[in-house]
C-alpha cells in the first residue's frame, strides 16, 4: 500500500475536527469495571511456533513445542501430536473455554530482515498480543524478527467458543502480511459445556465434543482446499492433508468440519450426501457462502442416511471446480 493510502485512513475526506474532540470529551459516567472474564480456571498452554519456509517457496507455521499445564498443576507435553515440519494450514491449536495460551513465535525464514506475526481471531488478548505492527496498533511491532521471538497471550474466555483463524499480519508489506503465502492456521475453542448442537438422525440435538472422532479443517484459498485432520481417536494426532484432500471416516462416526476462507475469492462449500445446521440457527443447509476468513463449522454423522461411499466435496463456484477445487469424504464401514 502506498503512503498516500496510509495517510488517507488517518485523515478525513473533508476536515472533521469534531471527531477527535468527541471521544475525549470527559463526560461523567459510572466507572467501568470489566467483568473478570480472563480469570483462569482451565489449562495453560505453553506453545512455541516457528514460521519457516516450505520446499515450494511458500511459508508455514511449525509446532516446536506444546505443553499443557492443567488447573491441577500437571503438565503434559503434546508436541508429538503435530507434524515436525511447517505445514499449510499451520498446527490446529485446540483449547477449551477457560484456557489460556502463551505462544512464542520464532522467525525461521532465512535471508530476510522482515518480521512475521500471529494475529488471532475470537479470543481475548490485550493490544500487545494483536499481532499487528506499530503503525496500526500504535504500541509496538508485535512480531518476531530474525533472532527475536515474540510472545502472545490468548485467553479463551467464556463466550469465545468457536473456530477461529490465526494468521500473519505483518510480513513483506506491513499492511498485507504473509497470510497469503501460507502463514495461517486454526484455533478451535471448545465450549466449557462440552456440547455443540448438530443435526443428528434428522433432529437437532446436543453432541458431546468428546464424541467427535475427527476434525476436518478445510481452508479455501483461491482455487485450492488446504486441509488438516485432527484425529481424536489418536488423541489429537494432526495429519496434514495438503491440497484438495481425501478425508475419511467410519460410517456413523461423528465428525466435525471447519471450513475457512482466505485470500480474495468467495466460495460456496458443498458436501455431497450430507446436510447440517447453519451455526447458531435451526436452518438445515448443504451449501454455504464462504468469504475470506469467514467460516462454517458443523458436525455430521458420517454417511447418515446415505451410507458408505466416496462423498465428493467441492466449491460450487463453477470456475473454481474447473480449477480442481474439490476433495473426497470417504465413508467406510
Stretch in the footprint of a copy of itself (CB under 8 A) among 66-74, 105-113, 144-152, 324-332: 324-332
Nearer to a copy of itself, 44 or 294 (CB): 294
Q: What is the spatial distance between Cα 30 and Cα 230, in angstroms, rounded to a whole number?
A: 47
Q: Which is nearer to a copy of itself, 75 or 287 (CB)?
A: 287
Based on the shown chain and the rule CB under 8 A, indicate whether residue 125 belongs to the binding site for a copy of itself: yes
Our finding on whether 322 is near a copy of itself (CB under 8 A) is yes
Cα 20 to chain centroid, rounded: 35
Pairing mode, if any, of strands 212-221 and 150-155? unpaired
By the 10 Å C-beta count (0-12 exposed, 13-18 middle, 19+ buried), 117 is classed as buried
The cell numbers describing 11, all together, are 485523515
Binders of a copy of itself in range 4-63 (CB under 8 A): 5-6, 8-10, 12-14, 16, 18-19, 22-25, 27, 29, 32-35, 37-38, 55-56
Binding-residue pattern over the window 89 to 118 for a copy of itself, x denoting contact by CB under 8 A: ------------------------------
Among 148, 159, 193, 206, binds a copy of itself (CB under 8 A): 159
Interacting residue with a copy of itself among 102, 176, 194, 195 (CB under 8 A): 176
Angle at 97 between CA 149 and CA 102, to 5 degrees: 15
Determine which residue in the list 68, 161, 207, 299 makes contact with a copy of itself, applying CB under 8 A.
161
Among positions 202-221, residues that touch a copy of itself (CB under 8 A) are: 202-203
Tell me: does residue 157 bind a copy of itself (CB under 8 A): yes
CB of 20 to a copy of itself, least distance (A): 8
Of these, 110, 111, 201, 235, which contacts a copy of itself (CB under 8 A)? 201
At its nearest, how many Å lie between a copy of itself and the CB of residue 75? 26
Buried b (16+ CB within 10 A) or exposed e, 298-320: bbbbbbbeeeeeebebbbbbeeb
Residue 159: DSSP 8-state: T
Contacts of 128 (CB under 8 A, 6+ apart): 139, 140, 142
Tell me which stretch binds a copy of itself (CB under 8 A): 63-71, 99-107, 144-152, 283-291: 283-291
Alpha-carbon gap, residue 277 to 281, rounded angstroms: 7
If the CB atoms of residues 78 and 146 are measured against a copy of itself, the closer one turns out to be 78
CB 267 within 8 A of CB 290: yes
Nearest CA-CA partner of 98 in 135, 123, 74: 123
Report the site for a copy of itself in 290-319 (rule: CB under 8 A): 291-295, 303-312, 316-319
Per CB under 8 A, the list member of 103, 267, 298, 299 interacting with a copy of itself is 267
Binding window for a copy of itself (CB under 8 A); candidates: 68-76, 101-109, 142-150, 240-248 = 240-248
For residue 190, the tally of other CB atoms under 10 A from its CB is 19
DSSP character for 91? P
Strand-pairing partners, residue 53, are 59
Amino acid at each position: 500500500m502506498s503512503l498516500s493510502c496510509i495517510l488517507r485512513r488517518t485523515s478525513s475526506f473533508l476536515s472533521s475536527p469534531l471527531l477527535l474532540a468527541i471521544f475525549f470529551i470527559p463526560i461523567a459516567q459510572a466507572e467501568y469495571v470489566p467483568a473478570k472474564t480472563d480469570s483462569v480456571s482451565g489449562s495453560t498452554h505453553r506453545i512455541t511456533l516457528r514460521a519457516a519456509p516450505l520446499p515450494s517457496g511458500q511459508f508455514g507455521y511449525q509446532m516446536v513445542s506444546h505443553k499443557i499445564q492443567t488447573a491441577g498443576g500437571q503438565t503434559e507435553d503434546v508436541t508429538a501430536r503435530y507434524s515436525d515440519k511447517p505445514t499449510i494450514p499451520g498446527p490446529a491449536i485446540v483449547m477449551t473455554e477457560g484456557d489460556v495460551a502463551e505462544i512464542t513465535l520464532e522467525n525461521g525464514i532465512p535471508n530476510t530482515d522482515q518480521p512475521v506475526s500471529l494475529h488471532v481471531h475470537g479470543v481475548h488478548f490485550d493490544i500487545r498480543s494483536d499481532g499487528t505492527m506499530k503503525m496500526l496498533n500504535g504500541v509496538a511491532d508485535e512480531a518476531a524478527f530474525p533472532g527475536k521471538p515474540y510472545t502472545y497471550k490468548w485467553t479463551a474466555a467464556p463466550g469465545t467458543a468457536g473456530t477461529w483463524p490465526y494468521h500473519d499480519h505483518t510480513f513483506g508489506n506491513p499492511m498485507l502480511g504473509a497470510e497469503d503465502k501460507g502463514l495461517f492456521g486454526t484455533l478451535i475453542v471448545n465450549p466449557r459445556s462440552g456440547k455443540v448442537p448438530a443435526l443428528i438422525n434428522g433432529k437437532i440435538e446436543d453432541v458431546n465434543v468428546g464424541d467427535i472422532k475427527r476434525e476436518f479443517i478445510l481452508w479455501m484459498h483461491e482455487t485450492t482446499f488446504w486441509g488438516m485432520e485432527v484425529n481424536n481417536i489418536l488423541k489429537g494426532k494432526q495429519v496434514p492433508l495438503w491440497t484438495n484432500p481425501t478425508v475419511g471416516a467410519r460410517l456413523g462416526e461423528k465428525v466435525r468440519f471447519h471450513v475457512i476462507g482466505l485470500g480474495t475469492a468467495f466460495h460456496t462449500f458443498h458436501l455431497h450426501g450430507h446436510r447440517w445446521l447453519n451455526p447458531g440457527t435451526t436452518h438445515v443447509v448443504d451449501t454455504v457462502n464462504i468469504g475470506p476468513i469467514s467460516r462454517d463449522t458443523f458436525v455430521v454423522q458420517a454417511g447418515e442416511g446415505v451410507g458408505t461411499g466416496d462423498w465428493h466435496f467441492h466449491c460450487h463456484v463453477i470456475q473454481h471446480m474447473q480449477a480442481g477445487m474439490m476433495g473426497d469424504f470417504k465413508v467406510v464401514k
